[in-house]
Amino acid sequence: MKRFDTILIAFTLFLTFLAPGVFASHLIVTDPVSQTADATAIVDLGVVGPGQKLEVVATRASGEKAKNIAYEKEAAWDRIFVIPEELPSGWSSEDSKWYEEQMHAFVTVAKDAEDGIYFFKIRAFDEYEGVSALEVSFKVTVSRDLLEAQLVEKTVSVGVEQPALFYLRLKNKSSASDAFEIKVSGPPSIGTGVTRKVYLRHNSEDVIPIELFEGERGEYATLFEVKSLSSDAINAKDSATVLVFTSILHDMQAVSHGVLLFPTAEQLIYALLGLIAKLLS
């Protein structure tokens, strides 16, 4: 019985004094993935592209007891640092601010980074409560295949000078949020093209409405090109057709602008049609 009591006391002492120091210290990552990581873990952040800025968010919970206060309390991390020596060549970083409730650190991938798997480390630091710093390893995969662009409809038919409305579905497959530029070219009225910028959160998609106007009747091949503002290497495109036809109302408006191909006896009728068109437009 005495031997059993000795073993029980020893086990209790281990749980009280040794186990928290070895196993409890952790960093709770909440974005772009959710994982509670200790010093032995590798947090897989997913896929990012060259030039993109990856945001890592973590809470202040350390899992450790504060060591320099009289009452029992969990210590809080005060800041997270990206360890510069552990970054791949050409990459850069920004540390979190002090005492953020949600700590935000940033890692920017080199613009010339090759596709592949990379690692870096983040150190969580406690300033006042006596807890040792914790280093956690992170893994990212660099790829250029991160963007999808697809038109909901490939052909839109409209009247002259009427809006041709397209819906472009964009999907950002990256773990980094990013801004993208959409360029539309093809119809003569838009010349070298029109551009629009949009922002997409990481691992998300959105449908972007785009209006085009064409003043001449015809069939126009139209190209929608999308690229990341972080790197031209991250891009996608889709194509469509704009069919522009002449409406009856448009023809009636045209005759009021001096059409001279009609017989003299019919000019009065066409002038009346032009007046009606103006009233209707």
CATH number of the domain encompassing residue 173: 2.60.40.10
Q: Does residue 102 sit in the same domain as residue 212?
A: no
In this prediction, residue 249 carries a pLDDT of 54
Instruction: Tell whether 190 and 72 lie within a shared domain.
Output: no
Q: What does the pLDDT look like over 242-271, one tens digit per residue?
A: 998 876 555 554 444 444 344 444 555 545
Q: From 214, 211, 278, 210, select the one nearest 246 (Cα to Cα).
A: 214
- CATH, residue 56: 2.60.40
Are 131 and 168 contained in the same domain? no
Locate 130 and state its tokens: 């006596």
Please give the structure tokens belonging to residue 47.
Answer: 């896929």
**Do 45 and 136 share a structural domain?**
yes
Bridging pattern class, strands 235-245 and 155-159? parallel
Residues 49 and 172 in one domain: no
C-alpha–C-alpha distance, residues 201 and 192, integer Å? 29
Predicted TM-score (pTM) of the model is 0.76
Whether 252 and 242 map to the same domain: the answer is no
Q: What is the pLDDT of residue 280?
A: 57
Closest CA to 231 of 53, 44, 31: 53
Residue 189 above 50 pLDDT? yes
Same domain, 213 and 270: no
Residue 137 CB burial class (10 angstroms; 0-12, 13-18, ≥19) = middle
Give residue 276's pLDDT: 59
pLDDT at 13: 44
* Residues 88 and 165 occupy one common structural domain: no
pLDDT at 163: 85
My answer on whether 64 and 109 are in the same domain is: yes
Evaluate if residue 184 carries a pLDDT over 80. yes
The predicted-structure confidence for 26-68, as pLDDT tens digits, reads as follows 999 999 999 999 999 999 999 999 999 999 999 999 999 888 7
- Among 142, 164, 185, residue at a domain's last position: 142
35 with 110, same domain: the answer is yes
Average pLDDT value over all residues in the chain? 84
Decide which of 115, 142, 169 is a domain's last residue. 142
Number of domains within the chain: 3
Check whether residue 240 and residue 260 sit in a common domain: no
Q: What is the pLDDT of residues 107-149, one digit of tens each?
A: 999 999 999 999 999 999 998 888 999 999 999 999 999 999 9
Structural domain that includes position 88: 2-142
**In sequence order, what are the beta bridge partners of 241?**
155, 221
Residue after which a domain boundary falls, among 142, 173, 194: 142
Confidence of residue 192 (pLDDT cuts 50, 70, 90): low
Residues 197 and 165 in one domain: yes
Q: Residue 195: pLDDT above 80?
A: yes
Q: Which of 121, 128, 75, 74 is nearest to 95 (CA)?
A: 121
